Amino acid sequence: MIKQYFAQKLLFSLFFLICMLPSYLNGGPTHTTYFSESDTKLEISKIEFGKDHYFYALLKNRTDNQIGFCLFRFNKKMQNSCFVIELETYPAYRRQGHATRMLEYLFKLMRSFDVKKISLLVDHANTQARALYTKLGFEYHADFNDLLIMLEKDLTSV
């Protein structure tokens, strides 16, 4: 089951990136946000498949080196919820607040779409990620399997 989950996640990520390629070739991302305090920018691209909205957020530094990325989706029919498929800060850039900035912007963006909750899966053993998510208001929701737990954040409270 775990291998199947990661295989599906990898295939979906590759499929999504292939779908995003035309948007980058035809004018680039749909939205760019600059975080002036850290000299970083977040480029966000969006594609839609029916009721699903998929976003790919790429975090870069001032020299255009990639720092990290976030892949997420939401569907208004599914109780206005968002699911973070993947969030990563590259090792050389960890523990500098980049993941926090990406997630805080994600919260702001999803509120603009009237999303009520955000959920994600995290490895039980990844204590640093779990601490970050807890600090940002995520709470335990359920065990997904022996290795992963699901966390959720309510966006309706401030």
pLDDT in tens, 7-61: 656 655 665 555 555 554 445 546 566 665 567 887 777 776 667 777 778 888 8
pLDDT at res. 20: 52
SS3 124: coil
Q: Which two tokens stand for residue 77?
A: 């029919």
Strand partners, 149: 122, 143
Give the model's pLDDT for residue 82: 87
Average pLDDT, the chain: 78
Q: What is the pLDDT of residue 43?
A: 77
Q: Measure the CA–CA gap between 137 and 123, rounded to whole angstroms.
A: 17
What is the pLDDT at residue 13? Answer: 62
Who contacts 77 (Cβ-Cβ below 8 Å, separation ≥6)?
Answer: 51
* CA separation for the pair 27, 20 (Å, rounded): 12
Question: What is the rounded CA–CA span in Å between residue 91 and residue 102?
Answer: 16
- Say which residue, 78 or 91, is predicted with more confidence: 91
Q: Tell me what pLDDT residue 66 has.
A: 87
> Which pTM was predicted?
0.76
Q: What is the pLDDT of residue 45?
A: 75
Q: Which two tokens stand for residue 16?
A: 């999504």
